[in-house]
Amino acid sequence: MKRSKLFTKTLKTVAADETSRNAELLIRAGYIYKEMAGAYAYLPLGMRTLEKIKQIIREEMNAIGGQELTMTALQSKDEWERSGRWDSEKLDVWFKTALAAGGEVGLAPTHEEPITKMMTAEISSYKDLPVCVYQFQNKFRNELRSKSGIMRTREFVMKDLYSFCKDEATHEEFYEKAAESYHKVFDRLGIGNDTYRTFASGGSFSKFSDEFQTICDVGEDIAYLDREKRIAVNEEVYDDETLADLGLKKENLEKVKVAEVGNIFTLGLRYSEALGLVYNDEDGERKYVYMGSYGIGPSRVMGVIAEKLSDDKGLVWPEAIAPYKYYLVGIGEEGEKKCAEIYQDREEVILWDDRAGVRVGEKFADAELMGIPYRVVISEKTLANNQVEVTERATGETKLLTSEEFINKLS
């Protein structure tokens, strides 16, 4: 992309009501735009990062056999009444609205009910199991407060996967496979080392649920980490019994602030019983399907990474999710000419700051604010040795490469 064509601008400051650091940086760098409290638009740079995060998640969900679909946000109340969650006292984040044709509909805060109901049309025999489906779908949650930037909003994209198994044993097997795939996702997103599978309070069907929590100063939770065993315990279940259950010792644990980037739940028969999702087993007996659900919020993850990896100069994206890998700056006529040559056909990896009349210092500051992994500078000075200067955003380290070495890196 040529910077001169990109319609977004970088800003020195944001409105005073924006108190979260992730939103402040993302707005200043032109990634997002605040439409209202708790609702952000994703601008071209932001969309590229968000789509890259989604694609990594998609690949890992496909790898465990997930089949992608997309449900609707509009919800008829029938299914939710059957599960007992239509009542706003039970589920306190509903947006509800009236149909012109009569009746009331809700905006899905999650999708267990409609997915379970849909599956009653697809599952009838043990031969149809196990199966798992997922979607990237906007969720709506009528939050009372919203001051964590894109980490907690009233409308946000969520990857939710649902598994359907014939019994608890098959479920457990899939559940562990899903947990492993979550670790792969966070590794690929560049936060694997600081992300812990964390035991938290369970639901009706299991003692614990599993959260994936990332060490982060602005996190909303507290966890106790065992760095060696790479597991953690959420403060809410941190007691002697839990530690005994998990074979953890107090003296090996470290108390830290964490932000939830994913969670997985055993749902058991909760929804299949409520909505009549049954199958005939090998002996022709009707049984309820055993379910699990697995969530990751790509926009929340993006917010956590923005918080966690940024510095005083701006954002710092891991390569895998940066909107562009290189921020190209030419100095002088010869530098610009060489940039044009290198940029050719590489608009997907290079953001070329070709703006005329903008000081080099300003371009450098934008490259840093936007968190592009490598700043590449070409000037008459570097060209004198047929070189380009490559500076890594995360470390500040600068290397001189020959033009050929750099071009090889690109392809």
Interaction site with a second copy (CB under 8 A): 5-9, 33, 35-37, 39-44, 46-47, 65, 67-76, 93, 95-101, 105, 107, 114, 118, 121-123, 128, 131, 133, 138, 140, 142-146, 154-155
Which candidate, 367, 389, 297, 311, places its Cα nearest to that of 45? 367
155 DSSP assignment: E
Distance in angstroms (rounded) separating the CA atoms of residues 334 and 378? 8
Smallest distance, Å, CB 70 to a second copy? Answer: 5
Between 153 and 263, CB nearer to a second copy: 153
Between 73 and 179, CB nearer to a second copy: 73
Between 16 and 144, CB nearer to a second copy: 144
Cα dist from 315 to 143, 296, 365, whole Å: 27, 22, 11
Smallest distance, Å, CB 76 to a second copy? Answer: 4
Between 131 and 360, CB nearer to a second copy: 131
Smallest distance, Å, CB 398 to a second copy? Answer: 31
Smallest distance, Å, CB 179 to a second copy? Answer: 22
Contact by Cβ (8 Å): 273, 28: no
Q: DSSP 3-state assignment of 109?
A: coil
Smallest distance, Å, CB 311 to a second copy? Answer: 25
Structural tokens at position 228: 């060696």
Structural tokens at position 238: 């941190």
Between 1 and 223, CB nearer to a second copy: 1
The backbone torsions φ and ψ at residue 199, rounded to the nearest 5 degrees and listed phi first, read -75, 130
Between 75 and 391, CB nearer to a second copy: 75
Smallest distance, Å, CB 275 to a second copy? Answer: 13
Cα dist from 329 to 11, 28, 59, whole Å: 19, 20, 33
Pairing outcome for strands 208-215 and 231-234: unpaired
